[in-house]
Amino acid sequence: TATLAIKDRSSLSLPAMFFATLVANITDLAGNKLVQPATAWSWSVPDWIKLPTFPAGMDPVLRVGSDLRPVVAYATLSMPNGNVIYTVEVAQYDGQTWTLLSAPTTSVNTGGDGYSLELDAENRPTVAWAFADVADVNVHAASWNGSEWAQLPAVDGVELPGTDADMPRVRLDGMGHPIVAWRESTGTGNSRNVFVARWNGTAWDQPYGNLGLDTVPELSGVALVLDSQGNPVVGWQTSLGGGVSTWSNTWTQSPILPAGNDHSIALDALDRPLAVERGATTGVFSLVGAEWQVATSTPVPVGASSQNPILAVTADHAPVVAWLDTTGPYKIGLARWTGASWDVRFGLFSAGATLSIVEPSLVVDLQGNIWVAWLEDGLIQVWMSNY
């Protein structure tokens, strides 16, 4: 067996045909010389590994486990009696096909107000969604134990009739317990706030309360990551711009990001919030103290018609950004920061249908592979880059 590793892939242009030549003086441990193959050793390398597709009604949320196998949460679409129903489902890839797990709840219409996904240390999914209980819409969660879903009680930030929740986001702490953030109306006019709660193993603990954003106009986006100590870092979007709130026994609110629209967050090597945001240009910013600073020497090379930039980071916390390009037929763009410039060899890509892409889901796995998932003409696409 000969195992070859390419040390520097930066100059490769894929797809390509690869050829290998073995020198004649290779021997085995007993000293027997290699018998050269009768034909040249060659193989084709695509630019993307494309997994099988399957139907869905709403965008996938992608995660990739330590086993390098992807899991997606998505919503199916049904129309009983003409009513549009979106129901949350979860699928795991086994290396050959997608295995559709049972739905995390027997309730229906669980996908219309948002859903989120995370994997534990054993690569088992936890999913969160918003669902209308008797008086209002609350946040629900369930964890897969290998054979069935373990349901958690609903969590409610305001506990008043009509204070509906949506946009749930879930992450897992070091114990594997869910932490959720979500948007919820406060019961006062059109006011909304972001709430955060942690499952302590027996009940929802809510020491985080809310972020104090009920006075800002048009709270329209929520994002959640955990720092190295398990503390929540919450991104939020308003009509005035986006920002983040960090937790250290109390919430500290950042200044508004300079660009203004569509932001996504991650953390750098020092646990400082990173954000990508679309404005006159699309940039990556780092929160240093109480000030947003440009994190890369050049903006992300998106086109003028880009939307919905999504941020992830590699193991060494280098930014990777995906976005939606709406010039002509919709396509997805992707760029990786090398430390000096943006690697854009991925180009703009899609499955080639008459596209209805809304927002890609982006993951960098533990080996540095970049994965992108999206919904295109009713089919979930999950691709892994060979770059």
What are the tens digits of pLDDT across the range 201-220?
A: 999 999 999 999 987 778 88
How much is the pLDDT for 203?
95
Q: What is the mean pLDDT of residues 252-272?
A: 87
Instruction: Please give the average per-residue pLDDT across 342-361, as a whole number.
Output: 85
pLDDT > 80? residue 319: yes
Q: What local confidence, expressed as pLDDT, does residue 355 receive?
A: 60
Across residues 233-253, what is the average pLDDT?
A: 93
Asked if residue 95 has pLDDT above 70, the reply is yes
Using one digit for the tens of pLDDT, what is the confidence trace for 68-86? Answer: 999 999 999 998 888 889 9
Q: What percent of the chain has pLDDT over 70?
A: 97
pLDDT at 374: 95
Mean pLDDT of the chain: 91
Mean pLDDT of 34-55: 91
CA 48: distance to chain centroid? 18
Percentage above 90 pLDDT, the chain = 70
Q: How confident is the model at residue 382 (pLDDT cuts 50, 70, 90)?
A: very high
pLDDT score at 51: 98
Q: Of 48-52, 207-211, 349-353, 369-373, which range is least confident?
A: 349-353
Number of neighbours of residue 358 by Cβ within 10 angstroms: 14
Residue pLDDT, tens place only, 135-168: 788 999 999 999 999 999 999 988 888 889 999 9
For the chain, the distance separating the N- and C-terminal CA atoms, rounded to the nearest angstrom, is 24
* pLDDT band, very low/low/confident/very high, at 354 (cuts 50, 70, 90): low
Task: Taking residues 359-368, report their average pLDDT.
Answer: 94
> What would the pLDDT profile of 176-193 be if each residue is shown by its tens digit?
999 999 999 987 777 899
At residue 260, the pLDDT reads 66
Check: CB of residue 384 under 8 Å from CB of residue 370. yes
pLDDT of 317 > 90? The answer is yes
pLDDT of 105 reads: 92
Whether the predicted pLDDT of 333 surpasses 90 = yes
Q: Could you tell me the pTM of the whole model?
A: 0.92
Is the pLDDT at 235 greater than 70? The verdict is yes
| pLDDT above 90: residue 50 | yes
Structure tokens at 3: 């195992």
- pLDDT (0 to 100) of residue 258: 73
Read off the tokens for 261: 């629209």
